[in-house]
Each structure stands twice: as C-alpha cells, then as structure tokens.
Amino acid sequence: MHAVAARSRCAPKRLCSASAQASAHPLAWEYLKGVERLSFCDWAGRNVCVLFFGGCNLACPTCHNARIAWAPGSVPSLSRAEVLGFLKARASWLDGVVVSGGEAACVPRLAELLEEIASFDLPVKLDTNGMLPGVVETLLDRELVAAVAVDIKGPWRLYPALTGGCVDPETAARRLQAHFAMAARRPGVFSFRCTTVPLLTQEDIEEARRQLPAGFELTLQPYKEPRKYARTDLQA
Ligand code: SF4
C-alpha cells in the first residue's frame, strides 16, 4: 500500500527545476524542516550539523524521512533567524554543514541559502539522490558546495521499483552518469553510496557497484527500518 500510494507523489517530468521556478517560490529557508545540531557520521572525519530540507522528487518505498519528503507542509519550518544564530554561535566548533533531505537539490533558491551559510566560513556537503545533476553542477561551479554524496539506489534496471515508479532505468543511468562525469573532473569531491534496502540482493549490489566507472567506490549503508514501521514503536 505504501509503495502504491507513493507512486502518485513523484513527478518525473518536472524533476524540480529550481532555477526555472525561483521567482515564483519563497525563500529556501521555508523548506528547512529539521536540524541535527551535531553529527560525527554524516561527513567522514568531520563534526558537522545537518540541515534537513522538505520535499523530494522520488517516492522510495523505503524512505526514512517520508514525512518531510512527501508532506513537507505538515512539518513546521524552522526559523531562519534561529538557525543562522545557531550557526554563528557554533561555527568555530563545527567542521562543516551537511545539506540533506528530502532532496535538497529540489529546494528553490537553495543557492541563496548556501551563500548565507558561506558567510560562516563552513564548508558544505550536499546529499543528493542523483536526479538533478544540473543543480549540483551549478552549486559546485559557484563554490557553494565542497563535497557531494550521491545515492546509487541499485542497478539501473531496478530504479522503477526502488524509487516508487518515479524513474525509469534509462533516466537513472543518464543522470547518474552525469554525476560520474562531474566526479571525474573534480577528484575527491564526490562519494557514492548505496543503502542495502530489502529489495536488493547481494547480486544486485554487485551489479550496482559495477555501474560505477573504474576507480570509483560504492560505499554501502546498512538499511534501517523506517521509524514509523519500527518494531520498537510497538514495544514503546
Ligand atoms: S530520495 Fe531519499 S528522501 Fe527522497 S523518497 Fe527516496 S529515500 Fe526518501
């Protein structure tokens, strides 16, 4: 039921063209739905805070942040002033800021928000599902992002199932290959990761690994059951 319901959420024909819609949208801060004040595991070797933005162009049935991804309007936005105040107070203790979601690359006027963060002299890492290479390239060209972590959901042929019907195999391959090309031009900037969701077999994971060009690594992330379905909720 979850996957079927998710199908209607994606809009592959209008995969969030932030630049085209900029003037019609409110500030990117209005999409900010959560902050993790300190994380040691979201950017290797760095103490960072993580900003979670609402909205997503996919509908993965195993989504961990389904509420902010699919119903961002149901989650109050954080105050820009409070978050900027937090960053100002903590900038000297942090090694960077991770911009995550949802799909942060979908957020209209994200570049303007990143320009504000840049004033704290904190490098930014972008987490992305890999469907908006043009947005990623623009942010890199403007030096608003120092690192990019890209999801490889699995073998291209499984993208329809892995994304709730939002992406066909050809589109997945084309958009991820655009990231591979960017990564080849910018050594050390990109990392690629795959969450080992239940749909993927070991053979699928090996197939996904083979999709990366030589010299690129695929980091595996263990799948954790989405909290709304976690057994611990039933035990609480
Ligand atoms: S790309 Fe990420 S945030 Fe979007 S639906 Fe998939 S798992 Fe959820």
Residue 96 has φ and ψ, to the nearest 5°, of 165, 175
Cβ(186)–Cβ(148) under 8 Å?
A: no
Q: How far is the CA of 8 from the centre of ligand 1 (A)?
A: 14
Whole-number pLDDT of residue 27: 86
78-95 pLDDT, tens digit per residue, is 999 999 999 999 999 999
Tokens of 100: 């995550």
For residue 219, give every residue at least 6 positions away whose Cβ sits within 8 Å of its Cβ, in sequence order, or none: 191, 192, 193, 194
How long a stretch of residues is the chain?
236
What range does the domain containing 71 cover? Answer: 2-235
- Ligand 1 site-directed mutation target among 103, 128, 162, most atoms within 8 Å of CB: 103
Q: How far is the CA of 89 from the centre of ligand 1 (A)?
A: 31
What total number of domains does the chain contain?
Answer: 1
Q: CB atoms < 10 A from the CB of 35, how many?
A: 16
Query: Does the beta carbon of 65 sit less than 6 angstroms from any atom of ligand 1?
Result: yes
Name residues of the chain where pLDDT drops below 50: 1-7, 12-15, 17-23, 228-236
- Ligand 1 site-directed mutation target among 10, 16, 129, 163, most atoms within 8 Å of CB: 129
Query: Does the beta carbon of 50 sit less than 6 angstroms from any atom of ligand 1?
Result: no
Query: Does the beta carbon of 103 sit less than 6 angstroms from any atom of ligand 1?
Result: yes
Residue 41 has φ and ψ, to the nearest 5°, of -120, 5
Whole-number pLDDT of residue 8: 53
Query: Does the beta carbon of 48 sit less than 6 angstroms from any atom of ligand 1?
Result: no
Q: What angle do helix axes 133-141 and 169-185 make, rounded to 10 degrees? A: 20
Percent of the chain residues topping a pLDDT of 70: 84
- Ligand 1 site-directed mutation target among 56, 128, 153, most atoms within 8 Å of CB: 56
CATH number, position 206: 3.20.20.70
Whole-number pLDDT of residue 236: 32
3-class state of residue 169 by DSSP: helix
Cα→Cα distances 116→36, 121, 129, 174, 178, Å? 18, 10, 24, 32, 28
Give the DSSP per-residue string, 58-105: ---TT-SSHHHHH-GGGSPPPPHHHHHHHHHHHGGG-SEEEEEES-GG
Whole-number pLDDT of residue 214: 94
Q: Ligand 1: which residue has its CA nearest to atom 7?
A: 63
Query: Does the beta carbon of 100 sit less than 6 angstroms from any atom of ligand 1?
Result: no
